[in-house]
Amino acid sequence: MHGCPCHGLPERKEYSMQFLKPVARTCIVAVSAILAVAATAPGAAATQDASVSGTVTDATGLPLPGVTVAARGPGGATFTVTDGTGRFTFSGLVPGTYEITFALSGFSAPAQFVEVDVGITVTVNVEMAFGLQEQVVVVGTRAQPRSVIESTVPVDVIAADAFTSQGDTDLANQLRTLVPSFSVTTQPIADAATIVRPISLRNLAPDHTLVLVNGKRRHRAAVITWLGNGLADGSQGPDISVIPSIALRQAEVLRDGASAQYGSDAIAGVLNFQMKDAPSGGSVEFQTGAYLDANDGSGPARGGVHAPGSHAGAYTFAGNVGLPLGATGFANLSLEYGNTGPTSRSAQRADALALIAAGNTGIRDPAQVWGSPRVEDDLKLFGNLGHLFANGVQWYGHANYASRKTTGGFFFRNPNTRGGVFSIDGGRTLLVGDRVWAATGVPHSGNCPVVPVVGDVPDPAALAAVEADPDCFTLRTRFPGGFTPHFGGNLKDYSVVTGVRGLATPRLTWDASASIGTSDVDQFIYDTVNASLGYDTPTAFSPGAYRQQDIGFNADISYAASARL
């Protein structure tokens, strides 16, 4: 018998049981000795490596999944993401000192420094506090969120309390107060710009500013601005006033051209609204106020669109609540509802004063309203949702619905001079309708009398003759004080965005989403006429309904070339 019988299986049948036992024992001892020697060889076994593991929780002790954990040390930088229980593990580390950092939007934690050695697992348990030690932005970069200091472009970050501390609840008005070079104005007599007010960043047109919500492109409004004080004429931008400000976590404003990264609609810059994503808590707000003109001590302001002499009061109710969506998800819901009365900064027109002085008692005071429009049933709903799965993939989505009715004024139509309605010669004579002429096509076949206008007063006898003739008429009989049309629209705006994103590797991120957004504007006008329809013309019309619908699909794949990019 030469050698170990463990390597001579065919010879086993020749050994007795008594002999096999000591020989087998000898082989086991030999194998153990070989493993012991191998363990001392450099890099031969896993016990040579160092490792770090731990759990990340919030201030209440709940685990935080989806936290990006980075370990930087002698072996370079490596990344991982906490699982559904908040746990993370780094293995295969080179022994030495490591800086462990933790990143999650809405939370902060100081860096931890640990010393790791061969065969030792260091445990690092961290509690992340709610709130950010540095302002983190996602606009202006295709990489992961970063602090404002690290951003390569100028970005203004506006926290939620900056919005809630204002007396105004309209998001566009709030940004006008908070952001340099951002402007928006109330459009008293500006056609459809009264319904959707155009915004401007860096004195450029509304559709030169890219508007994002949670980093996703916002759809355009249905209104193409024709009367936008010159700057916005012909533009079509998003309507940001349909977003309830109580739903905002922060707003990021890139006040620089970003067309190279985002496209030509970012020439002026980028607005990115980050919505609240808390899974708990909430708030309720109620604001009210009124405009009073007490400068002359004569009492309340005059000139409401529907009720002259009324106060221009406004009120807004808003609420926000955060709800858990499973163990690692959230549903943050917001509501805002309000009404705003009209204002009038008008002085009585000179031609209206002349008509009143001539004895015309049908003139309104003021005849033309110049001020903020009436906004009724201004409803805004917003829902922001997300859920993180155990494999680190996150589903996200948000939905928005808004509706309101806006009514503004037009210019005063003088009952003596309005062309095509009351006169066709500048007010020297009244325009008289000839029903016989209209029926036969023979000019002046009805022999209607001419009504001259002298000193802002139509000739009484000629006007009486027209009114007595069934074949003749003048619209001045129906509207002796002229009229001021009221124009507005019913707006409905709704959108849905959904998607998934994740980390393929510590530096390779992916994001896929789909979105649909629709803006509907149904315009109306009343207290006006269509002179071509004759004396019995309707006084209310629907100029048209407009719809803008944007559908988008998005896929992003980003790879960080280094840990700081």
Query: What is the secondary structure of 55-73 as a DSSP string?
Result: EEE-TTS-B-TT-EEEEEE
SS3 letters across 476-539: HHHCCCCECCEEEEEEEEEEEEEEEEEECCCCEEEEEEEEEEEEEEEEEEECCCCHHHCCCCCC
CA distances from 74 to 48, 88, 96, 116 (A): 15, 20, 6, 11
Q: Cα(319)–Cα(244) distance, rounded to whole angstroms?
A: 9
Residue 371: predicted pLDDT: 84
Residue 152: predicted pLDDT: 59
Contact 213, 198 (CB under 8 A): no
CA distances from 109 to 16, 89, 97, 236, 239 (A): 69, 18, 19, 43, 37
Tokens of 430: 């009244």
Kindly write down the DSSP assignment for every residue of 168-204, as one continuous string.
Answer: ---HHHHHHHHSTTEEE---SS-GGGGTSPPEEETT-
Q: Which of 312, 332, 310, 313 is nearest to 322 (CA)?
A: 332
Q: Cα(558)–Cα(116) distance, rounded to whole angstroms?
A: 32
Residue 310: predicted pLDDT: 43
Q: CA 298 from chain center: how many Å?
A: 43
Q: Which of 178, 275, 325, 315 is nearest to 497 (CA)?
A: 275
Tokens of 461: 């006898």
Contact 521, 195 (CB under 8 A): yes
CATH class of residue range 46-126: mainly beta
Contact 388, 65 (CB under 8 A): yes
Q: Do 46-126 and 138-412+485-559 agree at the fold level?
A: no
Where the chain has pLDDT below 70, the residues are 1-48, 131-153, 227-230, 291-312, 562-565
Q: Which residues pair with 126 in a beta bridge?
A: 56
Residue 6: predicted pLDDT: 40
Residue 44: predicted pLDDT: 39
Q: Cα(409)–Cα(346) distance, rounded to whole angstroms?
A: 12
Parallel, antiparallel, or unpaired for β 50-57 and 126-127? parallel
Residue 508: predicted pLDDT: 87
Given the candidates 3.40.50.1000, 3.60.20.10, 2.170.130.10, 2.60.120.460, the CATH classification of the domain at 138-412+485-559 is 2.170.130.10
Q: Which residues pair with 546 in a beta bridge?
A: 521
- Give me the numbers of helices (H) and strands (E) for the chain, helices first please: 8, 31
CB atoms within 10 A of CB 522: 18
Per the confidence metrics, is the pTM higher than 0.85?
no
For 256, residues 6+ apart whose C-beta sits below 8 A from its C-beta are 153, 154, 269
Domain ranges of the chain: 5-39, 46-126, 138-412+485-559, 433-478
Contact 430, 471 (CB under 8 A): no
Q: What is the signed CA dihedral for 29, 35, 36, 40, rounded to 10 degrees?
A: 160
